Structure formats: C-alpha cells, structure tokens
A and B are shown apart, each in its own frame.
Chain A
C-alpha cells in the first residue's frame, strides 16, 4: 500500500465531484474507497474456506436546492467516477428541494488519531490467520473434547478519500483484525453454547490466544439451562449485554430521529433520561479504537463529546445537516446517510461486578442479549440470549426461553449500579450494570 493509492482515491473523488458540479449540482461530495481482506472460516473443528477479497467503490452525494442525489458504483476508474458524479447530479435535480439544507462542511484542521493503521495487519497472511484458527480449535477441544467449534478470523486494510465542492480534501488508511469463536457442546438433549471474540486495529492489541478455550469453558456453564418464574426482578446486564441498553439510548439520541419526530428522546435534551449512575462520553479520538477516526462521514473533525452526565442528556448526536437545521453545535456523528456514535465510554462505578451480583437476592444475570429500546416507542422487549438465575447473590442455573421488558427510560432510570471493573476492547469500555424492577417472562 502506498501514498500513491491515496492520491488515486483523491483523484477519483475529485473527478466525481467535478462531474456532479458540472452536471448542475450546487454542492457535492464524494468518497472513494479501496480495501483488501483475507479471512478463514471454520466449521465443526476444521477450516471451511479461506477467502481473499478486494474492493474498490465510489459514492457521490449531489445537492440541488437541498434535494439530494446519491450514486454509488464499484470501481474507482475515471470513467466510473465521472458517471457516478453525473448520475448523482441528475438525481439531485429530480429530487424535491429541502429548505433545511444549508451547505456542506468546510475545510478544517483534523486531529491526529494514533493506532488506526498497522502495516503488520495489512501484511498478515492467510496462513497466519489459519494458525489462529487451528490453535483455537485445539484450545476448545482441550477444554471439552466434544466441542463443535465454528467461527473465523480475518484481517485487512482500507483506504478512503473524501472530497467536497466546499474544499474538504482528506484521505486516510486503516486496518483491522478480528476473530470470533463459537462453541457448541451437546450432552444428550442438553446444549451449551457460547462465543468469544477479539478485535483490533493494530496487531499489538490483538489477542486471539485462548478464545476457543474460554468459549468452551463458558459453553459448559450453559448446559442444563432452565426457565424461571415470571415476575419483576433486578437484572444484572454483563459486559456483553449492557451495551444494548446504553447503545439504544445513543440511537434514540440521533438528531435525525428527533427532528423526524420518531424518537422517545424528543424534548429530553437537558433533562434526566437515566439514573445518576449513568455518564456517557463519545470519544472518537481513542488511539486504536474500533470506532475512532479523524472525521465523520461529512468530513467534520472528530472530537470528544459528553452525551450523558449523571443521567442528564447533554446533547443529541448531530451531523452537519441536523446541526444546521437545529441551530446547534455539530457533534460530528454523520455516517453519510445516517447518524451513529463512535466509541461510547461509560463512567465506571465503585462496586465490582461480583459485588453487584452478590447484592441481588432474587434476580437474573444477562450474559448475552440485546435490550435496546425501540427508537420510537422506547419499549424494550428482549430475549435473554444467554444468562443465569441469581439466587441469594449467586449465579445458580443457566436460563432459557426468558425475556426482559420495560420502557427504555424506566430501565435507564432504574440503573442502580455500574461496575468498576469492565471488559476492555479497543475503543470500548464494557461494564456490568444492574437495573431494578425489570419485567421478566419465562417459559416456566
């Protein structure tokens, strides 16, 4: 990979933008993308397939009186870029005016974010990926000889260039490597399953060792799962489940959802939306963070944003368009077509996860689940994908066919503990949280 390729991408974006403007667009921007990846997938303790992929693509946005035309195409040749630009402009001319559109982002200084690209990740060979896979199959089998291991690993790089008619001109590269291991253990009619994963942008932060063994150990814990009585209980959401509730809050805080009248957080800016235990910061500048980057999809420089402070919603998540429409500060969360947080970091509490569980006399622990509130209604109704009954402060038996429910605002307000310990992944802080008064329905 070379700087030459970044220049090629910038050139393609420039051609697309110019083509759109010549075809009648008042504003235009274009993103050109180039990437390559290798992956190895496994199935029942063996390699299933090994794949090598490469891609090149361009996407163009053109604006006429605020009406938007989008065009995308595979390839970054001059001809492709020009055709995409012309197509976007044609569609923008056909679109109806949007009086809320003002302009596009103008050039700005971008922060430097370390650890987004690692040449060693870009150079990872298929054989190296396969060795991670085979070691983890062996690791799982060492724990449970009857384990059935699936999943896979991949590594790759991406380069992109964003250029706009308002002068934005930026290009960067990034890399990523990840692995997931799913283990199923069957003993007669009992099934235990679990998965483990790791992901990173730089090789030094990637730790594929031991994933298979840990997944197998966890899978064994879920053998003999049972239902429980239905009712209202305290629920402890572990590191892999707490993000569903907290992330759902961020989804509903999208200014696009708010301005379009379809968020349960409408009118809640500056108000309490969660308990005082909840403080959330979105930090796209974390070195090596999976959600990190120097700018958002509009080309607006990234910065750290306080989303929720002691339960009070500080801001909605904005793109350039929604910020202008609301007359508020742009938070830099555009994804070119949507709005999304980057690395959401919760403030930690004072008790350990073990202490939080130990304080529950009669409740449940959710290991895996997606308790995200519906953006419009705020309702949560989620399956406990994997979890345990808590009795007298101890995890007793694994759960099956059990659901948790409530209104998102109610659940967030009923959070009475955030753990001091957490699972750390690049750009992620995943604590344990406890919510009081959750409606639980189970097949018992």
Chain B
C-alpha cells in the first residue's frame, strides 16, 4: 500500500485547486490496515487482514460543497477526482440555503506518529493466538457445562490520514488501535443468556498484556452464568441508577448527538435555541474530549486539520456549547472545535463525537442507593439509539439489579430502557465519584463509522421506563 510521496502529491493537487481559484479545497489521503483473529468454540479457524487506501477531495464553488473520491494513487486520477468534485459542487449550487463560509483556523503543518510501546504488527501471530486462547480457556473453564458458545477476538489497526487544504494546512496523523473482545453465551435448558466484555485502546500490544483473563473473559462468563438464574426485568417506571457503562451510552445517544452542531443547524436537535439555558440537573456536567491519551476516541487533528480539544457541552446543568466543524463554527460564530471527522477517504468530514463523558461527583454508590425503596441499577450497556429531533432514546442494558429498601437485591435480565433526553437529564438526582471511561466502540452517522468512547459515573435519576416482561 503506497504512502510514500502522497504528501507532496496532495500539495500538487492543492496547488491545482489554487490555480483554478477555487474558494476552498481540501484533499485527504487515507490508508487503513487491520488484522484480526477470531477464536470460536475452541478453534482459531478464522484469520483476517485488510487494507484500504484512497483520496477524497472536497471543494467549495460559489459557496456550495462538492466531494469526490478515488481509490487510485495516480495523480492523473486525482485531477479527474478534483474535476468531479467541482462538478458536484455545481450540482449543490442548484439550491443552497446560503453560501458556505468556513471559520478561520490556524494553518498547521505537522506530522503526528502513533504512540505505542509494542508495535502490534511486530508481535508474532502465535503469541497473539496464545493470548486470545488464554482468555477463551479461562472463560470456558469458569462457565463449565453451561457454556453454549464462546467467541474471543483480537484486532489491531493502523490508520493514516493526510489532510491538505488551500489555506496551507498539511497534517499527517497516524493512529494505532488494539481491541480484544469476548462474548459468551451460557445455557440452562431453554434459557440462553449472553455477556460481553471488550477492551480497546490507542496503543500497542501492551494493552493485551495488561488485561488479565480474570478482569476480562472470566467476568463475562460469571455474568452470563448469573443471568441464567435471573428473572426477566419488570416492566414499568422505576427510580434508576445507571452504571457508568449505561451513563456512557446515555451521554452519547441522548446528549452527544444532540450537541452535534450540524444536527442543531439542520433543525434535528432538541438543543436548538437552548445555548446558555438549563438543560439538566446541576449535578450534570458533560464534556467531549479528544485529547485523553490512549482513549479509543482520541485524535490529535480532526479531518479538517484542526487540533482535537476538550469541549464543555454542559456545565452544572447549563448548555455551554456544541461540537463544531469549520462550517458550523462559522455559522454559529464560534471558534472551530476540531470535531469534523471522516471515515476514511470515501466520506467527507462531518461533526462527530470523540470521548464523551459525564463528569464524576462526590457521592458513593451506596449513598445514591440508600433512599430508593424500589428501583433498579442498570448495567451492561450494549447498544442504543436516539431520535434526536424528538429527544427520545433507548438503551439496551442487558442486565440490572433491583433495589429494594435501599439495598441491592436480585439480579434481572433482558433490560431495555427508554426515555426523553431532557426529562432524564433534568431528573438526575446525583452522580458518584466512581467513574469509568470504558465504552470503546463505533458510532454510526450518515453512513460513516467512527471510533468513539463514552463513560461517566453512576447516575441516579428519579424514574425511567423499563421495557421488561415481568
């Protein structure tokens, strides 16, 4: 996969865009390499590797955007691609709201290398396989005869993105990510329950060496086993405490997406017109921070060449800001936020989250629980989605623990919740000092997938709708 010489070639294309007097042009060359191992039911019978590379160019013509891509690394194809982008910008010009203006941003020329201790590509396959097998065997041993299926996976990936625009920015950013995951399905008669653990960091093989099976795959096995004897969750409204994993899902789905300035400007966000107003209880402060070292969603520069930064979204319940691209920052009259990210060369940058979290407080979990007579602690955040414009969200928690008389009581399974974003945030009663940022995953938006992380403390809310069956 060709990378050498692409920087100068991007500059040649940029110079061609300048020669044509385009208002703005931004060319991005991106490569991605990945490899993975999947071990299932005792056999590592699937090994994979992938690589992709190509260039996408975005232009502004008469205030309208055009974008085009090619997987070719030949300069003549890049010139054709520039022509196509200009043609598409003319198409956009058929009906624009107002000419696009971009916020001023410092011109940056920089090269960022990935940080890791042990390059995962130098680790022999046998060693990787041994580690994965170790996780699987420990889990299967713990689950014993009740194990129905076990999948353990490992993947590493390296991404390189070069951004070059007509303002003079030329940034090359490299990142390396490693992830391990373990899913176990346990069975007891006709009941099947699944539990999953995953760990993901930006870094190298050292991530795997730092994760013992007892804190990873064995934990999943124990959860799957305990869920077999748990009753289904009750249906109805309950006072609830969100585990940090659910808080991470909630902050991502319910607030994070609504704080994306492109959705705000599109009229798709419930936070439109609420800047500076109270949108949550005072105990709630939310940030999106792409500078957290090693976190799955971090980056040095976004796909517009703007440095990643810490952004305050909600401070003590008051909406303080949104996530911005160059375009949305200009439209709202604020400095660029470095939140424009693109999924490889095939997509144009759009506003995205990075590491989004609720800030911890002072309470202990026990203090949050003790005045709840009948409620539920939700944990095991698995997935969720949000209807931004309506402020309606759902999260699948997978498991929970009932609270009875101020004490943790029986475990329950198959827990999903729904809520109205602003109601939930306004009804927050407290947050714990315990905190986790351990939800490395992929967020989908506009057909693009992006690595993000989420987390928070335990969050207590007055009530939440549980879609249970008991």
Whether B194 contacts A377 by the Cβ 8 Å rule is: yes
Interface assignment of A73: CB less than 8 Å from any CB of chain B: yes
Whether B268 contacts A148 by the Cβ 8 Å rule is: yes
Q: Determine the chain A residues whose CB is within 8 A of the CB of B416 once the complex forms.
A: 381-383, 403, 405
Shortest A400–chain B CB gap in Å is: 6
Shortest A252–chain B CB gap in Å is: 11
Shortest A301–chain B CB gap in Å is: 26
Which residue of chain A lies nearest to B224 when distances are taken between CB atoms in the complex?
A: A376
Interface assignment of A56: CB less than 8 Å from any CB of chain B: yes
Which residue of chain B lies nearest to A131 when distances are taken between CB atoms in the complex?
A: B94
Shortest B60–chain A CB gap in Å is: 10
Which one, B47-55, B114-122, B431-439, B449-457, is touching chain A?
B47-55
Shortest B429–chain A CB gap in Å is: 17
Whether A126 contacts B45 by the Cβ 8 Å rule is: no
Q: Determine the chain A residues whose CB is within 8 A of the CB of B190 once the complex forms.
A: 264
Chain A 372-399, CB-CB to B under 8 Å as 1, else 0, gives 0010111101110100000000000000
Q: Determine the chain A residues whose CB is within 8 A of the CB of B465 once the complex forms.
A: 401-403, 441-443
Whether B85 contacts A134 by the Cβ 8 Å rule is: no
Which residue of chain B lies nearest to A148 when distances are taken between CB atoms in the complex?
A: B267
Whether B46 contacts A70 by the Cβ 8 Å rule is: yes
Q: Determine the chain A residues whose CB is within 8 A of the CB of B396 once the complex forms.
A: 381
Whether B467 contacts A184 by the Cβ 8 Å rule is: no
Residues of chain B at interface, number, CB under 8 A? 81
Whether A91 contacts B88 by the Cβ 8 Å rule is: no
Which residue of chain A lies nearest to B466 when distances are taken between CB atoms in the complex?
A: A441
Whether A51 contacts B235 by the Cβ 8 Å rule is: no
Q: Determine the chain B residues whose CB is within 8 A of the CB of A51 once the complex forms.
A: 66-69, 88, 348
Interface assignment of A46: CB less than 8 Å from any CB of chain B: yes
Q: Most chain-B Cβ atoms within 10 A of its Cβ — which of A38, A49, A374, A405?
A: A49
Which one, A93-101, A306-314, A326-334, A425-433, is touching chain B?
A93-101
Interface assignment of A439: CB less than 8 Å from any CB of chain B: yes
Shortest B92–chain A CB gap in Å is: 4
Contact of B394 among A129, A262, A403, A406 (CB under 8 A): A403
Taken together as a complex, chains A and B put the C-alpha atoms of A405 and B415 apart, in Å, by 10
Q: Determine the chain A residues whose CB is within 8 A of the CB of B66 once the complex forms.
A: 49-52
Taken together as a complex, chains A and B put the C-alpha atoms of A404 and B235 apart, in Å, by 9
Which residue of chain B lies nearest to A56 when distances are taken between CB atoms in the complex?
A: B71
Interface assignment of B96: CB less than 8 Å from any CB of chain A: yes
B60-102 interface (Cβ within 8 A of A): 64-72, 84-85, 87-89, 91-97
A49 and B390 in contact, given A74-B54, A381-B415, A381-B468 (Cβ under 8 angstroms): no
Q: Most chain-A Cβ atoms within 10 A of its Cβ — which of B93, B270, B387?
A: B387
Chain A 122-142, CB-CB to B under 8 Å as 1, else 0, gives 000111011101100100000
B420-463 interface (Cβ within 8 A of A): 420, 423, 446
Q: Determine the chain A residues whose CB is within 8 A of the CB of B1 once the complex forms.
A: 73
Whether A74 contacts B71 by the Cβ 8 Å rule is: yes
Contact of B71 among A54, A374, A442 (CB under 8 A): A54
Interface assignment of A69: CB less than 8 Å from any CB of chain B: yes
Interface assignment of B142: CB less than 8 Å from any CB of chain A: no
Contact of A439 among B129, B187, B235 (CB under 8 A): B235
Whether A377 contacts B467 by the Cβ 8 Å rule is: no
Shortest A302–chain B CB gap in Å is: 25
Taken together as a complex, chains A and B put the C-alpha atoms of A72 and B415 apart, in Å, by 38
Dominant secondary structure at the A interface = strand
Which residue of chain A lies nearest to B47 when distances are taken between CB atoms in the complex?
A: A91
Q: Determine the chain B residues whose CB is within 8 A of the CB of A441 once the complex forms.
A: 235-237, 465-468
Whether A95 contacts B46 by the Cβ 8 Å rule is: yes
Whether B95 contacts A46 by the Cβ 8 Å rule is: yes
Whether B267 contacts A186 by the Cβ 8 Å rule is: yes
Interface assignment of A17: CB less than 8 Å from any CB of chain B: no
Interface assignment of A193: CB less than 8 Å from any CB of chain B: yes
Chain B 358-400, CB-CB to A under 8 Å as 1, else 0, gives 0000000000000000000000000000010111101010000
Whether B64 contacts A443 by the Cβ 8 Å rule is: no
A55 and B71 in contact, given A71-B48, A381-B396, A440-B235 (Cβ under 8 angstroms): yes
Whether B469 contacts A407 by the Cβ 8 Å rule is: yes
Whether B420 contacts A401 by the Cβ 8 Å rule is: yes
Interface assignment of B185: CB less than 8 Å from any CB of chain A: yes
Which residue of chain B lies nearest to A129 when distances are taken between CB atoms in the complex?
A: B91
Whether A54 contacts B69 by the Cβ 8 Å rule is: yes
Whether B71 contacts A47 by the Cβ 8 Å rule is: no
Whether B469 contacts A406 by the Cβ 8 Å rule is: yes
A260 and B40 in contact, given A44-B267, A46-B96 (Cβ under 8 angstroms): yes
Contact of B92 among A49, A53, A378 (CB under 8 A): A49
Shortest B194–chain A CB gap in Å is: 5
Shortest B133–chain A CB gap in Å is: 10
Whether B149 contacts A261 by the Cβ 8 Å rule is: yes
Q: Determine the chain B residues whose CB is within 8 A of the CB of A68 once the complex forms.
A: 45-47
A53-109 interface (Cβ within 8 A of B): 53-57, 66-75, 87, 91-92, 94-98
Which residue of chain B lies nearest to A219 when distances are taken between CB atoms in the complex?
A: B389
Interface assignment of A150: CB less than 8 Å from any CB of chain B: yes
Whether A376 contacts B420 by the Cβ 8 Å rule is: no
A98 and B88 in contact, given A51-B348, A385-B387 (Cβ under 8 angstroms): no
Shortest B75–chain A CB gap in Å is: 16
Which residue of chain A lies nearest to B43 when distances are taken between CB atoms in the complex?
A: A96
Whether B51 contacts A439 by the Cβ 8 Å rule is: no
Whether A134 contacts B267 by the Cβ 8 Å rule is: no
Q: Determine the chain B residues whose CB is within 8 A of the CB of A381 once the complex forms.
A: 396, 414-416, 467-469
A96 and B94 in contact, given A73-B51, A184-B389, A405-B467 (Cβ under 8 angstroms): no
Interface assignment of A45: CB less than 8 Å from any CB of chain B: yes
Contact of A71 among B49, B88, B389, B394 (CB under 8 A): B49
Which residue of chain B lies nearest to A46 when distances are taken between CB atoms in the complex?
A: B97
Q: Most chain-B Cβ atoms within 10 A of its Cβ — which of A54, A67, A87?
A: A54
Shortest B125–chain A CB gap in Å is: 5
Chain A 25-43, CB-CB to B under 8 Å as 1, else 0, gives 0000000000000101101
Whether A377 contacts B192 by the Cβ 8 Å rule is: yes
Taken together as a complex, chains A and B put the C-alpha atoms of A248 and B368 apart, in Å, by 38
Taken together as a complex, chains A and B put the C-alpha atoms of A68 and B40 apart, in Å, by 13
Taken together as a complex, chains A and B put the C-alpha atoms of A250 and B265 apart, in Å, by 40
Q: Most chain-A Cβ atoms within 10 A of its Cβ — which of B41, B92, B265, B387?
A: B92
Whether A377 contacts B414 by the Cβ 8 Å rule is: yes
A50 and B54 in contact, given A262-B149, A443-B237 (Cβ under 8 angstroms): no
Whether B69 contacts A53 by the Cβ 8 Å rule is: yes
Q: Determine the chain B residues whose CB is within 8 A of the CB of A75 once the complex forms.
A: 53, 71-72
Cross-chain pairs A/B with CB under 8 angstroms, 10 sampled: A46-B97, A56-B71, A125-B91, A127-B91, A230-B237, A260-B41, A261-B187, A376-B192, A381-B467, A406-B469
Further contacts, 5 of them, CB under 8 A, given A55-B54, A441-B465: A44-B266, A150-B266, A150-B267, A260-B41, A442-B465
The 6 closest A-B CB pairs, nearest first, are: A403-B467, A148-B267, A381-B416, A46-B97, A126-B91, A70-B48
Interface residues in chain B, defined as those with a beta carbon under 8 Å from any beta carbon in chain A: 1, 40-41, 43-54, 64-72, 84-85, 87-89, 91-97, 125, 129, 148-149, 185, 187, 190-194, 232, 235-237, 262, 265-268, 270, 346, 348, 387, 389-392, 394, 396, 413-420, 423, 446, 465-469
